[in-house]
Structure 1
């Protein structure tokens, strides 16, 4: 993924790049165009001088050669005119100079003449570079001024957008504070602000409705289940029932308990999805694990061993921490190879590992943390325990993993 940069830097980078390219291209174009004009001007002077020399020869005026500027000599044959650059020693400057040279051959008053006129080019080149350099300096100064003005203008122009963006970053469904966005005189920013306001209000309304629905449905399910449970208890206590009827009633009671657990777990998942667990505190997981092990041992699960290298402390909701540990231990107990086989829990400063024996590896380990997925068809399993563990880990950014090695199912959580 490419590195992200801010909008102002992005536009400024484009502006700078475009400006430098235009400055370079305009300077090159100006250089060659000015050079072309100066060259034409020099050649025009040469032709003008040659014409005056020819006219003087026609009128038999005395023409003296003035090397290296003008040279007139009589030749035997006439040739084509020649226009070229040449380097000649200039006695007046005592150095080699670049000249533009025009040589023409004409027959005047019965004599063949070679007329050579030259013009100094060096001064023209200096003049050319002076023009280009001045253009570059003026262009850069103007460009820097425009860049500074454009950046300041863009910062002011985009200020409402950035302020609203910061407001959106702090937006929370669980917060009662209203979202206050900044108005802008830019039509698009104003429309964006209105759409964001409508969207966030709709999202908060839907969230509150869903939250209320979850709470209502949970309460409505618990009430009839409690009534059914009470009626069954009355049935058992007030009437004589045979063994078959007692077995059926007991089965109904188990199903009611399972429905209660299912309703409770679905409610927990929904609350996590809705970000309703906002109480954050430091939880001593090492102490919590020991308390859970003590409770399970009171229920005759004496095969749970805990080894701690360092104290494990995690910042999270204490209620979710209790559910996390309880579900992991319950899962290990339910799916252990034998009741007498040891369930091992190992904690460090930042990790928790729990393992239980198993005959074979899971058939579909990639589906292990999906809701309602059950590797075995055990009646007591709702298929939500590990899904809740996964949801809690994702909620706090913990890393949950599963592995099967040495005939053990191993679940690990890395808290940092």
Structure 2
């Protein structure tokens, strides 16, 4: 564009010079801008760039030069018109800086405008997301979500409210069913136990029959224990343990060890660095300690040592084992079965984990290898966050 404008100015100046020569017959020259002179013959027009020394600036300047030949009043003239070329680099730099400035300002404006607009549009979504994170099946209050002008968010809100209400109804029905089954199963178990006692006390039975009846009694006891554990898990899920007391776990562990000694289990060794007290429901504290110790006894030979260590905020139980668990992260899963073992972990450790979740305790498990007799140590640790 600059070049085109310069060339238009050159041709305009050449036309004025030609007109002056035609009308006035006077040869005007103003070097280096305009130079006119008579010649003997016409030549081809030339349009080019040329460098001319500028004494005022003491430097070479770039000019655009139009060199043309005209026949005016039967005379031949060589007309040379020059004009200073504007330095396009400076203009280009100015244009680039201006455009970049405009783009940057537009970007900043659009960014903050869109950000504020998006925050406004998405605010109901994030508010509802926080409400959903705090949603609890045990809460009696229905979930309350914020309205939105966005159609998709409004539909999502309606579907979530419908879904949560249905889930709550299903949960209440399942909870009621579990409680009813756990309660009703106690009566037939008690009746079966009473009838078996009557058979043993009132009838003469053979050794084989005695063994069979003893096996039945053991199965009944297992069913009773299983029922109690299911009831415990259900009550924990339903937040029914609201009683809080300062439970002295040091005394509780000592009592449990004495109870196990009465059953001729003498491989429990307790070391208390400091007295350990925890604020929780006493019943759950008893279950927590009993399940951890029972689990260690269950998987340890009577000749092997079971170590129990406590300090001001940690309970640690260690028992021997030949190999590390394949999937230790599933140890606290209900009825988890390791590899091809027929025997599962039952509900004991699952209840321990549920109690820890209920109070915010941290249960961990690790296996410590040992070269002694090829045995290592299974170490369970409960950290009671004060």
State the TM-score, normalized to the length of structure 2. 0.79
Listed one character per residue, the Cα deviations across residues 3-44 of structure 1 (whole Å, up to 9, x for unaligned) are xxxxxxxxxxxxxxxxxxxxxxxxxxxxxxxxx3x4322221
Q: Is 1:118 the equivalent of 2:83?
A: yes
In structure 2, C-alpha distance between the alignment counterparts of 1:280 and 1:82, rounded to whole Å: 103
CA distance 1:324–1:188, change in 2 (3 Å): same
TM superposition shift of 1:173? 1.3
Q: Is 1:252 the equivalent of 2:220?
A: no
CA distance 1:139–1:357, change in 2 (3 Å): closer
TM superposition shift of 1:89? 1.6
Q: Is 1:384 the equivalent of 2:347?
A: yes
TM superposition shift of 1:280? 8.2
Question: CA contact under 8 A between 1:75 and 1:114: conserved in structure 2?
Answer: no
In structure 2, C-alpha distance between the alignment counterparts of 1:98 and 1:199, rounded to whole Å: 81
Aligned to 2:65, which of 78, 102, 123? Answer: 102
Q: Which structure 1 residue ranges, 5 or more long, are not aligned?
A: 1-35
Question: CA contact under 8 A between 1:68 and 1:90: conserved in structure 2?
Answer: no
CA distance 1:413–1:116, change in 2 (3 Å): same
CA distance 1:155–1:356, change in 2 (3 Å): closer
Match of 1:361 in 2: 323
Question: CA contact under 8 A between 1:42 and 1:100: conserved in structure 2?
Answer: no
Q: Which structure 2 residue ranges, 5 or more long, are not aligned?
A: none
CA distance 1:387–1:139, change in 2 (3 Å): closer
Question: CA contact under 8 A between 2:128 and 2:146: conserved in structure 1?
Answer: yes
In structure 1, C-alpha distance between the alignment counterparts of 2:331 and 2:100, rounded to whole Å: 69
CA distance 1:168–1:128, change in 2 (3 Å): same
Aligned to 1:89, which of 54, 57, 62? Answer: 54
- Report 1:155-234 matches (<5 A): 155-234=119-198
Question: CA contact under 8 A between 2:331 and 2:345: conserved in structure 1?
Answer: no
Question: CA contact under 8 A between 1:83 and 1:103: conserved in structure 2?
Answer: yes
Match of 1:409 in 2: 377
Question: CA contact under 8 A between 1:373 and 1:384: conserved in structure 2?
Answer: no
Listed one character per residue, the Cα deviations across residues 92-114 of structure 1 (whole Å, up to 9, x for unaligned) are xx565855412223253453615
Listed one character per residue, the Cα deviations across residues 44-90 of structure 1 (whole Å, up to 9, x for unaligned) are 11221123223444556223222333233457884651333746526
In structure 1, C-alpha distance between the alignment counterparts of 2:90 and 2:342, rounded to whole Å: 95
In structure 2, C-alpha distance between the alignment counterparts of 1:372 and 1:126, rounded to whole Å: 78
Match of 2:12 in 1: 48
SS at the partner of 2:185? helix
SS at the partner of 1:176? coil
RMSD: 3.8
Question: CA contact under 8 A between 1:390 and 1:400: conserved in structure 2?
Answer: no
SS at the partner of 2:65? strand
CA distance 1:241–1:138, change in 2 (3 Å): closer
CA distance 1:369–1:161, change in 2 (3 Å): closer
In structure 2, C-alpha distance between the alignment counterparts of 1:62 and 1:377, rounded to whole Å: 123
In structure 2, C-alpha distance between the alignment counterparts of 1:98 and 1:280, rounded to whole Å: 97
TM superposition shift of 1:261? 1.4
Bigger drift between 303-312 and 386-395 goes to 386-395
Q: Is 1:333 the equivalent of 2:301?
A: no
SS at the partner of 1:373? coil
Listed one character per residue, the Cα deviations across residues 226-282 of structure 1 (whole Å, up to 9, x for unaligned) are 11111112222333334333332222111100111122234444555x464664856
How many residue pairs end up in the alignment? 372
Q: Is 1:345 the equivalent of 2:314?
A: no
CA distance 1:56–1:163, change in 2 (3 Å): same
SS at the partner of 1:82? strand
CA distance 1:344–1:137, change in 2 (3 Å): closer
